[in-house]
Structure 1
Amino acid sequence: MSATVAVARQRRRAAWSAGWAEFRQQRAGLVGAAVLLGFVLIALLAPVLADADGLSVTRAQGGVLEAPSGEFWLGTDDNGRSVLTLLVWGARVSLLVGLLATVISMVIGTLVGLLSGYFGGWPGGILFRLTEWFLVLPFLPLAIVLASVLGRSLLNIALVIGVTSWTSTALLVRSQTLSIKERGFLDRARGLGAGHGHLLRRHVLPNVAPLVFANTALTVALAILAETTLAFLGLGDPTRVSWGSMLQDAFRVGAITTGSWWFIVPPGVCVALVVLAFTLVGQALESVLDPRLRQP
């Protein structure tokens, strides 16, 4: 048994090494990973980089919509708070909601896709029709309704985004499961007495996991964009600062018409950079995990 485990671990290490070597050849993916690492470090080090007292309206030390200066590098908002401080702490909320929503979306999509693809007949048909029903529903109106009903909190926003964005993952996993189900090694496992749970857990899921992993990076980008949209519409957590809430506040005070570009451009640029970075990483992972997408 120990020899078998050692061989399996050696194969995993070899696979990870080969995957990392292929990923390093994807320059766009490396750039995206570097940008993401920078934003993650900013989010983790927010208490060190910016004092949390700067988020309080009552402790604001600047004037209303002050232009960038030596004291306030990115100017101030309509309450006199440093835009740089809001930007640093907003990274935490935006990334946290995006990652949490992606986990919810991946779990639901993977489970529905596996079960609908593996089991035929009416169980698989019902799950597939459920996926199609969610697929045709417009995302934004459904998310707005759910966010209004559940309430304005970070957990609820992540739940709303996750529940409304799992269909693409389910369809991807279902199509791959239908292909894997017809392969010979599953027939041999069934002949040896393997049950449905064993087949799904030990044979089907490991084969669809690379696609799910690659799709995760793309889903995070969409989740962060969705959180920004909901916060911009005033459906975010009013007690937390995020990039979306910053854009909503900037729009509310007329930052564009007053020429206060420092209030609206930084959070917009941060959202664009994070979404682009996750997209680049996701495309690079797709190329690594799917040899058909590699350049000849």
Structure 2
Amino acid sequence: MTDIGAPRLSTRQLARRRRAASYRRTWKAFAAKRSGLVGLGILVFFIVVALGAPVLASSRGLDVTLANGPVLGPPSSHYVLGTDENGRSVLTLLIWGSRISLFVGLAATVISMVIGTLLGLVSGYFGGWIGRITFRITEWFLVIPFLPLAIALAAVLGRGLFNIVIVIGVTSWPSTALLIRSQTLSIKERAYIERAEAIGAGRWHQMGRHVLPNVMPMVFANTTLTVAAAVLTETTLSFLGLGDPTHTSWGTMLDSAYQVGAITTGSWWYVIPPGVCVVLVVLAFTMIGQALEEVLNPRLRARQ
């Protein structure tokens, strides 16, 4: 029985309540995945370090002219992780480098998700020559090896922070486009799409109000995996000397360590910390992405 005296909720209020209930169910299912929680904890730690860099370490420690430590000095009470070839604290470089590495990973992923989602929707929903052209473009980018294409674009655009973001963003979207295309093809055949078309809803209305909201869970799950690949790509490009020399990142630290022969001289404190940070961040995003995929993908939920 319903309470006659209870206030009647509006359509928006009902939608908000359903959305909140859906978020709670999703979080409860995600919290049941131990690997996802571990990855989230690691990621939160690095985000706190990146945001709190000005508090944790002075930016003056990045200035080569102000460095007064020993050259490639080992860890000590004053320099916990030793020093680099310029006498700067490796710990300071590591803390400030987290900002650039995470920024590049997140910014490049936004570009990749926007391009991949739009092309995937258009390719999957529209038929005819529009769908064929967008699908062929996606296939063309998939055929070309990712890393050589990124290296070529980075060499053409030049060494710059935003250039690296653009390079990674415009070369890492094809897998997202294929995923969204397959989801769109499935959703397009469902009954509520036919009903929306029968009552006069246009194609763009159907895409924006019916198709896009249903593919967004897969977009979110794929985003975390794409961030991991973007962070790793930034590290690779910086290690190859294509990063921004005016900003310190974990990749530029590894490149500098290689250039001064830190491995051959036994200066492990200059190589291992940035490498471990890259591995942990990539691992964190991968664990979160796999947990989200298990939670949001109905097929994977049915197998459990």
Structure 1-normalised TM-score? 0.98
Offset, 1:140: 1.3
Alignment of 1:242-253 (within 5 A): 242-253=249-260
Corresponding position: 1:78 with 2:72 = no
Structure 1 CA distance for aligned equivalents of residues 107 and 287 of structure 2: 20
Q: Which runs of 5 or more residues in structure 2 are unaligned? A: 1-7
Structure 2 CA distance for aligned equivalents of residues 100 and 151 of structure 1: 18
The residue matched to 1:66 in structure 2 has which SS? coil
Corresponding position: 1:240 with 2:258 = no
Offset, 1:291: 3.5
Corresponding position: 1:292 with 2:299 = yes
Corresponding position: 1:121 with 2:128 = yes
The residue matched to 1:199 in structure 2 has which SS? helix
Offset, 1:152: 1.3
Aligned residues: 296
Compare 41-50 and 285-294 and name the one that shifted more.
Answer: 285-294
Offset, 1:208: 0.5
Alignment of 1:32-111 (within 5 A): 32-111=39-118
Corresponding position: 1:231 with 2:231 = no
Letter in 2 for 1:13: A
Partner of 2:157: 150
CA deviation string 1:208-260 (max 9, x = no partner): 00000000000000000000000001111110000000000001111111000
Offset, 1:144: 1.1
Q: 1:130 aligns with which of 128, 137, 144?
A: 137
The residue matched to 2:266 in structure 1 has which SS? coil
**Identity percentage of aligned residues:** 67
Offset, 1:18: 0.4
Structure 1 CA distance for aligned equivalents of residues 135 and 12 of structure 2: 37
Offset, 1:290: 1.5
Structure 2-normalised TM-score? 0.96
Q: 1:255 aligns with which of 255, 259, 262?
A: 262
Letter in 2 for 1:197: W
Partner of 2:198: 191
Alignment of 1:256-271 (within 5 A): 256-271=263-278
CA deviation string 1:90-120 (max 9, x = no partner): 0000000000000000000000000000000
CA deviation string 1:256-281 (max 9, x = no partner): 11000000000000000000000000
Structure 2 CA distance for aligned equivalents of residues 293 and 128 of structure 1: 26
CA deviation string 1:43-80 (max 9, x = no partner): 00000000100001110020100000000000000000
Offset, 1:2: 6.3
Offset, 1:145: 1.2
The residue matched to 1:172 in structure 2 has which SS? helix
Partner of 1:201: 208
Letter in 2 for 1:75: G
CA deviation string 1:177-223 (max 9, x = no partner): 01111111111101111011110000000010000000000000000
Partner of 1:5: 12
Q: Which runs of 5 or more residues in structure 1 are unaligned? A: none
Structure 1 CA distance for aligned equivalents of residues 38 and 236 of structure 2: 26
Structure 1 CA distance for aligned equivalents of residues 58 and 86 of structure 2: 16
Letter in 2 for 1:269: V
Q: 1:211 aligns with which of 202, 207, 218?
A: 218
Structure 1 CA distance for aligned equivalents of residues 191 and 120 of structure 2: 21
Offset, 1:151: 1.7
Q: Quote the RMSD (CA, aligned, Å).
A: 1.0
Letter in 2 for 1:114: L
Structure 2 CA distance for aligned equivalents of residues 35 and 137 of structure 1: 33
Offset, 1:170: 0.1
Letter in 2 for 1:126: I
